[in-house]
Amino acid sequence: MISIPLLLNGEHPCSYLEQHRAQSIFVHPHFDLSTEIYAQLVEQGFRRSGDNVYAPRCQQCSACIPVRLRVPDFKANRSQKRCLQNNADTKVIVKPAVFEQQHYDLYCRYQTLRHGDGAMADASPEDYINFLGSSWCDTVFVEFSIQGTLAGVAIVDQLPNALSAVYTFFDPQFSSYSLGTYAVLWQIAQAQLQRREFVYLGFWINACQKMAYKSNYRPLQQRVDGQWLTVHDDL
């Protein structure tokens, strides 16, 4: 792996765990990133937010654990199979990672109803696309439509040997379709079709409900002490 300059930011309130302080390392913003280099970083436990690539380096906490699925090993459970059946008529369209007003409007509704107190609840169009898109990464926006209505969008990075789930947002009126789950299952199926070995799901945080769901996908691999380990027991 090539040498990559890293920066350590200052401590700040954690976005996931109340009363916790967080700290991260970032790839230097002047470093020339690419999808291929990012794929190596993802394998080392990094993630991206827009063009910024980071990994947690908290002084007194190790709750954020990078997780991924090895696609050939994945087995859908009963609930996930039911989700696939419920979405049998859901229409999927893969689009370039560019700004679309209908995507932005849906994103704003989702943030207001699901994360009204979050930092992105009042995101401008520029904030929105800078958060989800990237100038150097091979990214797509995946539309999910139900009965002719845009119901959800998944942002997916296409890496040489993997897909990386960046973010998913959906219309709360379609909550019964479990589109967050369906988006992950769709990515697993796509990775299988494209002969990609892994789907990266970001960080698993046991004490954070909005991040703990990732343990529902088995067998899950966790990156612990610099190694990817398959977890077979209950997390």
**Helix or strand or coil: residue 18?**
coil
**CA 100, chain centre distance (Å):** 20
Q: What is the pLDDT of residues 4-45, one digit of tens each?
A: 999 999 999 998 998 899 999 999 999 999 999 999 999 999
Q: Is the pLDDT of residue 117 over 70?
A: no
- The CA distance from 91 to 106, in Å, is 17
The label of the residue with tokens 């789930």 reads 165
In 10 A of CB 153, how many CB atoms? 25
pLDDT interval class at 177 (50, 70, 90):
very high
Mean pLDDT over residues 56-77, rounded?
Answer: 96
Per DSSP bridges, beta strands 91-96 and 52-56 are unpaired
Q: What is the pLDDT of residue 233?
A: 67
Q: What is the pTM of this model?
A: 0.94
Q: Is the pLDDT of residue 225 over 90?
A: yes
CA angle 82, 85, 91 (to 5 degrees): 135
**Domains annotated on the chain, with CATH:** 6-65 (no CATH), 67-202 (3.40.630.30)
pLDDT interval class at 211 (50, 70, 90):
confident
Helix axes 125-132, 101-114, angle to 10 degrees: 90
Joined tokens for residue 162: 């993997």
pLDDT interval class at 71 (50, 70, 90):
very high
Q: Is the pLDDT of residue 118 over 80?
A: no
As beta bridge partners, residue 51 has none
Q: Are 47 and 55 in contact (CB under 8 A)?
A: yes
Q: What is the pLDDT of residues 183-203, one digit of tens each?
A: 999 999 999 999 999 999 999
Q: Is the pLDDT of residue 235 over 80?
A: no
Mean pLDDT over residues 146-160, rounded?
Answer: 98
Joined tokens for residue 111: 């943030």
